[in-house]
Amino acid sequence: MRKGQNPVKQMNSVAKPEYITAAVLNHIPFLEGFYTDMLKVLDTSLRTLRENAGIPFDLLVFDNGSCKEARDYLLNEFEQGRIQQLILSDKNVGKGGAWNVMLQAAAGEIIAYADNDVIYAPNWLKESVKVLETYPKVGMVTSRPFHTRPELYTADVKWAESNAEARLERGHFIEPQWIREFLLSVGRTEDEIQQDLSQEDVKITYKGVTTYAGASHWQFLAWKKTLQEFLPIDLSKPLGQVLKLDEMIDQKGYLRLMTDQPYTMNLSNSLDIPEKDATIKRSKERNIRKRIFDIPLIKSPLMRIYNAIFKLYYD
């Protein structure tokens, strides 16, 4: 039997969400090996996200089956008011499964998605929203210019070439060092970097706002109503299928754009951002190691061991 009246019934208003929801996907299964520094990386990522946004937002974090230390850190951040929505999954449901939950749960009209290893520069959110709100029918805006696959931004080129208000230019406009530092962060060799730098940039200017063609699933802004067209996303494996969202957005004729300045950076699994000379040296060393480990007699047994370990933990 009910005793008294629920005091909530006396409330005349409720808190409204911010116009923008920043949504971060986290997965730190343990704090050893590859993941040794990931809790420090996550803390740096969330701190710079908050401090450098430039405009208000709510923060949503989806934890995808992380270890206790990571969950405890996130719970403390939530209790301190630095995270507005925290979703905990007791198992890794993959990126697609996480997207299906968090991109629906985000309350803002704009969703600023990112992986847990992104570092943010001042005004990253403010400048990215400017692109999203200026250009028509935008599907994704990534807050950093670099080279992406041309077949995934065909809609950009088609729209810019047919729109009298848009100016499309091809050439080399992006600072080479911006591309280099990003590619080094994801483990590319010096040979791969030089090959990438030879690609042309596709620059688009519309209503005074300059962008580059392309975007990426590791960090992007989108209208929530647009993302709903692509949900649920079937990504049955933890990795390897994430380009599916990029492909679907381009195929539906939505623009995939990048800001003209680097406002975000991929930290990967380390806070170490080496100087230029050191990165070139490391890249050359990695290139030598890569050639050695690509020898079939060495690579084949190592890959079998790697696959067996991965299946043991994630199948």
pLDDT in tens, the chain (315 residues): 767 666 655 666 667 899 999 999 999 999 999 999 999 999 999 999 999 999 999 999 999 999 999 999 999 999 999 999 999 999 999 898 999 999 999 999 999 999 999 999 999 999 999 999 999 999 999 999 999 999 999 999 999 999 999 999 999 999 999 999 999 988 889 999 999 999 999 999 999 999 999 999 999 999 999 999 999 887 766 555 678 899 999 999 999 999 999 999 999 888 876 444 343 344 344 444 545 555 666 656 766 676 666 556 555
Q: Are residues 104 and 81 in the same domain?
A: yes
Question: How many angstroms separate the CA atoms of 265 and 39, rounded?
Answer: 17
Q: Are residues 243 and 281 in the same domain?
A: no
Q: Are residues 225 and 301 in the same domain?
A: no
78: CB partners within 8 A, 6+ apart: 61, 86
Query: Is the separation of the CB atoms in 215 and 136 below 8 Å?
Result: no
Please give the residue range of the domain that contains residue 139: 20-266
Question: How many angstroms separate the CA atoms of 14 and 28, rounded?
Answer: 34
Per the structure block, which two tokens stand in for 78?
């939530």
Q: Are residues 255 and 183 in the same domain?
A: yes
Helix (H/G/I), strand (E/B), else coil: 19: coil
Look-up of token digits 């969703």? 111
Question: How many angstroms separate the CA atoms of 135 and 166, rounded?
Answer: 10
- Please give the helix or strand (H or E) that residue 16 lies within, else none: none
Query: Is the separation of the CB atoms in 181 and 212 below 8 Å?
Result: no
Q: Which of 275, 264, 302 is nearest to 45 (CA)?
A: 264
